[in-house]
Amino acid sequence: MRVTVVRRTALAASAAALALLATACGGGDEEGGSGGDGAAKGETASGAPAAKALTAAELEKRVIASADLKDHKVVEPGKDDVSDPGTLSVEQAECEPVAQALSSVPTGKPAASVQRLVTQESEAAGKGMPDLTGLTEEEAEEAMLDSLDITKTMTSLRSYDADGAERTLAALREAGKKCAGGFSMSIDGEKQQVTKVTEEKLTAGEDAVAWTVGTKLDDTSAETKVVVFRQGTTLAGFSSFNIAALGRGEAFGQPTAVIEAQEAKLG
């Protein structure tokens, strides 16, 4: 389901699980918007032949698969898993690239795109709903949240002609700096407030940007890890969140294994 809908569903699942606990104990290729148009096709500013974007078929060969990741499930997202870029609106235009990366929709004007939805479950989450018999309320709450320890990462590969990938990544970096204090946005009819965009350190590909993006949806706060790195004419993007962390209100790490596996396949 779409990123915003998944967050809402995750929060609902967490709330439902905790409600059950109380009972038991008690009692988401289109062109993107602004930012990062490529140089003129055919040659670079220096006059050298321009780098060519990878085709969709070439990206399909390079995008991660379940075989590339231990203990992860990788699937093609369905229609209901991805957001419609046409529904994205951002109150501050300069923040649009951040909103696009957060929502896993195209930034700039990619020539081709592919996406995968990657899911990682902890051992506890893989076992399903826990047996709360004999547990204290505190132990039961922890067990319930452990069962929701699931990280979902929307992974995108987008290729650009000429220096489009470089320009798009530069636009993302600049937008992250300008919009660190947050902004308002809406996508798929879901209005939310981005409360902060915090830069993180990441080494991947030839260049990369990474943020923790704080959001508030229906008075519920959450954090999403957003990463974009460049390899040649291709940008690899990742928008990741952990369901248990949403329920606990805790921070969680970047999807390092997913990023490293995708970096290896791009070579």
Weakest-pLDDT range from 1-10, 54-63, 209-218, 256-265:
1-10
pLDDT at 47 over 80: no
* pLDDT tens, residue by residue, 206-229: 999 999 999 998 878 889 999 999
Give the pLDDT of residue 67: 95
- Domain tally for the chain? 1
* pLDDT tens, residue by residue, 12-39: 444 444 444 343 444 444 444 444 444 4
Tell me how crowded residue 184 is: count the other CB atoms within 10 A of its CB: 14
User: Contact 239/102 with Cβ under 8 angstroms?
Assistant: yes
**List of residues 6+ apart from 131 with CB closer than 8 A:** none
Residue-range definition of the domain harbouring residue 171: 3-266
* pLDDT tens, residue by residue, 117-169: 999 886 655 556 655 566 676 666 565 666 677 899 999 999 999 999 999 99
Q: With b meaning 16 or more CB within 10 Å and e meaning fewer, what string describes 4-31?
A: bbbbbebbebbeebbeebeeeeeebbee
pTM of the full structure: 0.77
Residues in the chain: 267
Give the domain CATH number at 180: 3.40.1000.70
* pLDDT tens, residue by residue, 74-120: 999 988 889 999 999 999 999 999 999 999 999 999 999 999 999 98
